[in-house]
Amino acid sequence: MQRYFIYMAYDGTNYHGWQIQPNGISVQECLMKALSTLLQRQVDVTGAGRTDAGVHAKLMVAHFDSEIVLDEAFMVEKLNRLLPQDMVVYQLRAVHPDAHARFDATSRKYQYFVTTAKQPFNRQYRCRLFHKPDFEQMNLAAKTLFDYTDFTSFSKLHTDVKTNNCRIMHAEWAQVDDETWVFTIQADRFLRNMVRAVVGTLLEVGKGKLSIDGFRRVIEQKDRCQAGTSVPGNALFLVDVTYPY
């Protein structure tokens, strides 16, 4: 049995997230159907993480097993013909049998885009802000994330994870142009809905509704009800997943 990593990207607009859902189409389902068609058997796929409904990925990594050695370039070409126009496979790579797309990942990086302008051609990939927040204060608040590991306050309630601990490596707002800013955050793992909740709470700081000390208290209270409202998923992108090999 040969294990393969598959590197892909997708526009999440039309999907109920990465993971297979009983009542909506998912990215994982589309990929599994395409692989199963090509290999003429049921193929299970495990992703590096679970993006929420409407969230995009500039790079998602997943793994699957094959009973035969595959022509990687041929498979990439055939998969891209079978997959919808809003998905693309970049590469297939043979890995050792125990390699795991989810558990072996050492970091994931997300980006969230906000804009103060009305953008008819880019609206599905940006979160519209009607007033410019204080990005300097938001960056000061973002730096406090490095002082903590328990991010229960930013986690979706009633999830099945064993721990809410994460190690954040990078968290910063940067200006893209006169009207657009991007928040980049990198960590060893993320909780369900975590990035969207962090951004929503940082925006409360930027609007002057929450102080930096108040932002710290939100984290320390370990209570999702104390954090800000989650921002929409359409402006969120998974942009990188790293491995030790």
- Catalytic residue numbers? 52
Q: Are 244 and 188 in contact (CB under 8 A)?
A: no
Task: Give dist(CA 121, CA 155) in Å, integer.
Answer: 32
Selection from 167, 203, 201 nearest residue 185 by Cα: 167
Task: Give dist(CA 151, CA 154) in Å, integer.
Answer: 6
Task: Give dist(CA 114, CA 126) in Å, integer.
Answer: 5
Cα–Cα separations (whole angstroms), residue 140 to 51, 100, 144, 211, 215: 27, 36, 7, 10, 10
Q: Are 211 and 205 in contact (CB under 8 A)?
A: yes
Within the chain, residue ranges assigned H as helices are 27-39, 72-82, 135-143, 194-206, 212-221
DSSP E strand boundaries for 12-164:
46-47, 56-66, 87-95, 107-115, 127-128
| Sign of torsion over alpha carbons 216, 222, 225, 230 | positive
